[in-house]
Amino acid sequence: MVDSPEIVGAIQKVDVISVNNLPKEEWALGSKLRFEPAILAQDQWQKLIAITQASGNEKAVTVTWDGKKLATHGDVMSTKNSSGLAIFPRGIRSVFARHEELLVSAHAHPTPPELDHVQTIPFSDQDINSFINDPSYKAYIALDRGGVHLLARNPYAYSLRLDPAEKPVFTGAGEASKEESTKHGLAIDIMRKIAQGLVPFGIKYYYSPNLSLTPEGIVELTDVSTL
């Protein structure tokens, strides 16, 4: 893969997902998603990326909601290959806090020197399968210096959704990366192929090259299939 120009999408006005209007079901509500930054722990992104890059180990945070306030719980998992999704993001005491709803898991990807030419690193199969098989989370985020990637379930795709009890396995990310690498494809080419493969799973793939907020003070991401 080689670097590419900034990835942008068509401008579209959509409602901001905030603590005052959290969707009751799934979050993939359109071709663009706009978030109040605290819901995605945006203030932690640069720290996650810096620590991950320095250590080579993925760092993660989890955002929860108790019906009144958001809470961010840091570095819930750290492994060499994948942060995974936290079972107990607040430690063992979270077992007794059943009123807390898991909203978002966000982790950073290290970018080794041999990938300096790559604009951003798409989701891995391991990332995606963690999200597919844990319906507790509304969204799953991967970060690197090239932007923010987000997975969310499509509320209009119930007929396509696979039964989590069957532990479906997604392999499209590795296949897309291998295919596009042989063609010297770009990161966005891989992301589009992954997005296409996620349709039967009822999941949409969103991306923004911007780690900072918009002038309105929000986070805005675009469905990669529309880019």
Cα–Cα distance, 197 to 34 (Å, whole number) = 24
Say whether pLDDT at 38 is over 90: yes
* Structural domain boundaries in the chain: 19-219
- Count of residues making up the chain: 227
Say whether pLDDT at 221 is over 70: yes
Range 71-91 burial, b when 16+ CB lie within 10 A, else e: bbbebbbeeeebbbbbeebbe
In sequence order, the β-bridge partners of residue 203 are 153
- The model's pTM is 0.83
Most confidently modeled range among 32-46, 47-61, 72-86, 113-127: 32-46
Range 116-151 burial, b when 16+ CB lie within 10 A, else e: eebbbbbbbbebbbbbbbbeebbbbbbbbbbbbbbb
Task: Identify the burial level of 187 via C-beta atoms within 10 angstroms of its C-beta, where 0-12 means exposed, 13-18 middle and 19 or more buried.
Answer: buried
Q: In the CATH hierarchy, which fold is given to the domain comprising 19-219? A: Cytidine Deaminase; domain 2 (3.40.140)
Say whether pLDDT at 132 is over 80: yes
